[in-house]
Amino acid sequence: MARAKIEDERKEQILAAFEACVIRLGLAKTTLQKVADEVGLPRSLVRYFVGNRDDMVDLLIERMIERAEQNLENARPDGSAVVAPTLESLLDTLFKATFSDPTSNSIVGELWYLAERDETIRKRLTAMYGRILNLLITQMQAEEIGRNNEERKSLALALISLAYGQASFAFLGLKAPRANTLRLLAGTLIGDAGRR
C-alpha cells in the first residue's frame, strides 16, 4: 500500500511540474528533460512514473477533466451537499470556476493548439466539452427548459461559448465593463428559451 501511495505522490509531483513547464514554455517546448529538471528527478524516473511525453499529455487531459468535473460536481446552490445542482448554479460554476482558472485555461489553450494536428487530442477535448454539454442538457431537461433536446443542445453550446469566450478575451485583456455581464446574458438566453 505504501508503495502505491508513493507512486501516486510522485506522479502528482511530475504532473504538477509538467503543468508548470507547459504554462511557462508552452506544450511544444516542454520536454521530458525540462519536466525532470522542474521536479528535480532524473529523466529516467520521470519516464518510469508517467511514461513518455504523449502519456504525460494524456494524463494532463485527464487532470483537466477531473478538475472540470469536480468544479461542476460542487455546483450546488449555497454549497449544499444535499441539494442537487440547478442550471443557475451550474452556470455560476462555469463562469466563476470552470473557465476562470488561468492555469487550466493556459493548458487547455495549448491542448487546443495540439488538437489542430492530433486527432487523439481533438477527440479527448471533444469528450471533455461533451461532458459539460451533456450535463447542461440534462439539467435543462430536468428543469423543463427548451422545447426539445436539439434546442437544449444549441442553448448549451451558446452558454459554454459565452463562458469560454469570456475567459479567452479576459486573457487578452478584453473584459466587459461589469464582471458578470456575460453571466447575466446567459441567464437571459435561458429565460428566452423559457420553461416548457
* Tens-place pLDDT, residues 63-89: 887 887 777 777 766 555 556 788 998
**Per-residue confidence (pLDDT) for residue 19, from 0 to 100:** 92
| Grid coordinates given for 188 | 437571459
Q: Is the pLDDT of residue 195 over 70?
A: no
* Percent of the residues in the chain that have a pLDDT greater than 90, as a whole number: 46
**Per-residue confidence (pLDDT) for residue 47, from 0 to 100:** 96
State how far the Cα of 176 lies from the Cα of 166, in Å rounded to an integer: 8
Both 169 and 83 in one domain: the answer is yes
Both 122 and 167 in one domain: the answer is yes
CA 30, 21, 26, 96 dihedral sign is positive
Both 86 and 163 in one domain: the answer is yes
Both 76 and 149 in one domain: the answer is yes
Both 69 and 105 in one domain: the answer is yes
Both 18 and 109 in one domain: the answer is no
Both 34 and 106 in one domain: the answer is no
How many domains are contained in the chain?
2
CATH classification of the domain holding 132: 1.10.357.10
Judged by phi (left if over 0) then psi (alpha if -120 to 50, else beta), residue 76 lies in: beta
| Reduced DSSP (H G I as helix, E B as strand, rest coil) percent helix, strand, coil of the chain, to 5 | 75, 0, 20
State how far the Cα of 14 lies from the Cα of 12, in Å rounded to an integer: 5
CATH classification of the domain holding 40: 1.10.10
* Tens-place pLDDT, residues 97-118: 888 888 888 888 888 888 999 9
Both 94 and 180 in one domain: the answer is yes
Q: Is the pLDDT of residue 187 over 80?
A: yes
Average per-residue pLDDT for the chain: 87
Both 146 and 88 in one domain: the answer is yes
Both 76 and 28 in one domain: the answer is no
| Grid coordinates given for 27 | 506544450
Name the residue range of residue 1's domain. Answer: 1-51
Both 106 and 45 in one domain: the answer is no
Q: Is the pLDDT of residue 148 over 80?
A: yes
Q: Please answer whether residues 97 and 72 qualify as being in contact, where contact means their C-beta atoms are separated by less than 8 angstroms.
A: no
Of the two residues 24 and 114, the one the predictor is more confident about is 24
* Tens-place pLDDT, residues 26-59: 988 999 999 999 999 999 999 999 999 889 988 9
